[in-house]
Amino acid sequence: MKPLNATDPQRIGPYALAGRLGSGGMGEVYLGRSAGGRTVAVKVVRPDLAQDPPFRERFKREVVAARRVSGAFTAPVVDADVDAEIPWMATAFVVGLSLQSVVAAHGPLPEDTLRMLTAGLAEALLSVHGAKVIHRDLKPANVLLALDGPHMIDFGIARATDGTALTSTGAVIGSAPYMSPEQAVGQHLSAASDVFSLGSTIAFAAGGAGPFGDGVAAAVLFRVVHTEPDLSYVPPRLRPLIERCLAKDPSARPTPRDVIAYAERSERPDGGGAGVRPTTGWLPGPVAADVLALRAVLTSLPEPAPTIPLPDGADAPAGRAPDGTTEVLPHTPAEPLPGGTGGADGPGRRRLLLGLAGGALAAATGGGVWALIRKDSDKDPSGGASGKGSGSTPRPDGKEVPEAGLAWQLDLPAACGQVLSANGVVACVSLSQVFGVDGGGERIWTVEAQDHDLAFASTGTMPRVVAGVDGGRLHVGGTAVPTLSGTEVRDGGAAVLGVRMSDGGQPAVAALTETGSLGVASFCGVRDGRAHLFTMAGQDGKGGGVWALDLASRRTAWFHPGETETLFSAVPRPGESMLYSGRSRVVGLDGEGKTVWKKEITATLAAAGRYAFLHGTGGDLTAVEPGTGREAWKTEGAVGASARGGGVASDTGGAVVFVLLRDGDDGFALAALDSATGEAKWRKPVPAGAAKAGARLLHSDGNVYLMGADCVVWALDASKGAFRWKYSGWKGKDPMDLAWDAGDGRLCLSAPRTRTVATLYANGA
C-alpha cells in the first residue's frame, strides 16, 4: 500500500485503513474504520490529479453535490476533506452483492424482486436528481442488492472527470450496453438519460443480458441509437414500463416518480397493493444467504486500534446508521482498471469481499448444475399414495413405524451451515465461529475465526460442507483475512484451521500459498490423513482447483488447477486420490494430483470400496475404477442426489452402497447394493414422496437414514432394510434448508435459518 500520510501510513483523516478495495482512473479506494468502529469506503484521489487545480475544484463541487444525495437506496458521502494535500471522501458502507454478480451466479430475478428493484432504483434516482446530479453510469455492476433493498453507487463519477486528462475530446463516458441514445452520440444529458439506463438495467436483471445485445462497444451503441430493444424476457406486467423507459425520445420516458407509481400499481394483477418498498424478505433465498454470509465476513474484520483520535476540531462523520448495522459495499470508480477490468467490479474489491465470503458464490454456481442433474428426475412422479413397490410388495405408509424423540435441541447465536458428530462432541460450523456441544446439548467450547485471521467458508443460512473430522481433530476450510503488515497489504487465500474436537484446543492453521486462490469453497473429504478441498480462483483467474493438504504436517501435498468447474467430488481409497466434476465433465486424479482420465458427462460423484460412482442425469449409477475411469458395473433407475448431496451412502468398510431406485408403481425403494458387483442385497419400498426432491441418504451406527421431501427422517436397519424408527418433529420444513450428519451414536440436524441444532440417538430412544 502506498503511504498516505507521512506520520501514519495506515490512516487517512480519522480513519484507520484495513486494506485496499480497488482502484480506478480517479484514485484508490480503501476499507476504513473510524475510532468508533464505523466502516466506510475511503476514496483517495490520485497524486497527479491532486496537483491539478481545475480537477480539485471539480472534485470539490462533486463532493458538495454528492453530500446532498441521501436517499434510502444510495451510498451517500459521510465524510471528506477536499482541501487536504491528497483529497479524499468516505462513503457509507452497505453489505450487498452487485446485480451483475447475482445474475451471473443465480440467473434472472423473479418478478416480485424485479418490481421492488425497479421501485428502489427509481427512488434512488429521485435523490440523485434532486441533488442536481446525473448518474451517467447506472448499470448492473453499480447496483448493490442488500437485505434492505437495492443501493445505487458510483453516481456522479463521470461528471467529476469531464474535461480532465482522464477523458479525451469528444470521448463518451459510460458503459455502452446501458447508455441512453443521447449519451451514445455525445449530446447534452438530462435526468431522462438515467431513466433509460434504469430500463436497460432492469431488462438485464429479468433476462441475464442487456436489451441491445453484446459485442464491441461501437456495435452495441449503434443498436442503442437505431434499433428496438429485446424485451421478450421481461415479465408482461413490467414490460410496458420498461418499453417507456427505453424510448429513444427523452421526453417520452417516465420520470422516476412515474416509475415508482407504475411498480406499485403492478404489484398485483388487479392493480392493487400497498407499495413495493423492499424489506429483508425481498431477495430470493439463495441471494439473501449470500448477502448474509458477506455481512458476517465484513463484521468480523479486525477492528482498528480504539485510541485513534479524530483531528482537532473535527466533527464525527455524518450519516451514521441509527442501529449501527447498515454497511454498504464501497463506492469504487467506474473507469476501467489497468488491464481492462471494470472498476466497479475490479479485482481488489472482488478479492476482498467475494473472497472473504467463502463459498457463497461457489454454492450458487452449484445450483445451476443441480438444475441440470435433476431435470431427468423431475419428469417422474414423486410416488403414488397407495401403489405397490417392486413386484407385489405393498408400499408402506409408515404409520406403524415408531416415532423417535429428540435427545436435545439447542438454539445457537449464529447460523450453523454444517454439523458434525464425532468423539463425543457435536461441532456446529458458522461463518465466523465453530461451537462444540456435548452429549447433553450444552455448549462446551467456541472457536472464533477472527482469532486466527480467518473467515470460515460457511455460506450463512445455506447448508454446505466446509469441514471434516480426522484423527480426533476438526478441520474447517476458509479464507485468510487480508491484513496490514507494515505499509503493505498481506493478501488472503485458502486456509484450514484444525482444532481438537473434544475441547476446541490446539488450534493450527495451514495456508495455501503461491497460487492466488481467494479461499476454500468447500471441503471434499479426508482420506488417509489428507484433506481435499475445492478452492476459488483469484483476480487473475488462477488459484481455483483442488488442494490436497497433509493434515499432520500442515503442508500442501499437491495442488491441481481445475480443468472444469469444481462442484462435486469423491475421495476413493488411498493411492488413487480423487475425482471431481463440473457441469459436463468428470476428471480423475492420481495420488499426485495429476489428471489420469476425463469423461464428458454431467454427474454427481460418490465413492465406496474399490470404486467411484458416477450418478448421471439419466438415472444411471455407474461404478468406475478411480485410476482409469473404466466402467465396472451399472444400475439403471437410480434417483439423483438432492441439491445438498447424499445420492449414494455406503457402510463403513465400503462393501455396500445404498441408493434409491425407481419402482414399477412410480414410487421408490431403498436398496443395498454390493459395491463390487452391483448385486442387490435387499430392496425396501419406502413411503410415497420420499424422493420428491432427490435422494438424501446417510449411513452410520448400523442405520441407513433417508430424509423425505417433507423432512420426515426414516431410519432403516442397514443389514436387512427393516424400518426402525422415524422422526417427524421437523415435518413441513424444506429439506434443502437443513444440514445433517450421522456418527458417534447420533443423528444430528441443523436448520441454519432458525439457528437450531438437534440430535437423536441412533437407536431412536
Cβ 176 vs Cβ 235: under 8 Å: no
Cell of 35: 475510532
Q: Among 407, 344, 455, which residue's Cα sits nearest to residue 100? A: 344
Instruction: Provide the sign of the torsion angle of the four alpha carbons 62, 67, 68, 71, taken in this order.
Output: positive
Q: Binding site: which residues?
A: 43
Q: What are phi and psi of 536, to 5 degrees?
A: -100, 145
Pairing of strands 508-511, 746-751: unpaired
Cell of 517: 486462490
Exposed/middle/buried for 405, CB within 10 Å: 0-12, 13-18, 19+? exposed
- What is the number of other CB atoms lying within 10 angstroms of the CB of residue 376? 16
- What is the number of other CB atoms lying within 10 angstroms of the CB of residue 54? 10
Residue 429's DSSP bridge partners are: 418, 434
Q: What are phi and psi of 491, to 5 degrees?
A: -70, 155
- What is the number of other CB atoms lying within 10 angstroms of the CB of residue 474? 24
Q: Among 292, 419, 296, which residue's Cα sits nearest to residue 757? A: 419
* Catalytic choice (79, 137, 491, 744): 137
- Rounded CA-CA distance 192/251 in Å is 7
Which residues have CB under 8 Å from 683's CB, separation 6+? 390, 661, 669, 670, 671, 672, 721
Element housing 467 (H / E): strand 467-470
- Rounded CA-CA distance 739/420 in Å is 10
Cβ 684 vs Cβ 670: under 8 Å: yes
Cβ 695 vs Cβ 659: under 8 Å: yes
Element housing 63 (H / E): helix 53-67
Q: Binding site for ATP: which residues?
A: 43
Calculated CA dihedral for residues 597, 601, 605, 607, nearest 10 degrees: -40
**Is 137 one of the catalytic residues?**
yes
Catalytic residue numbers, as ranges: 137
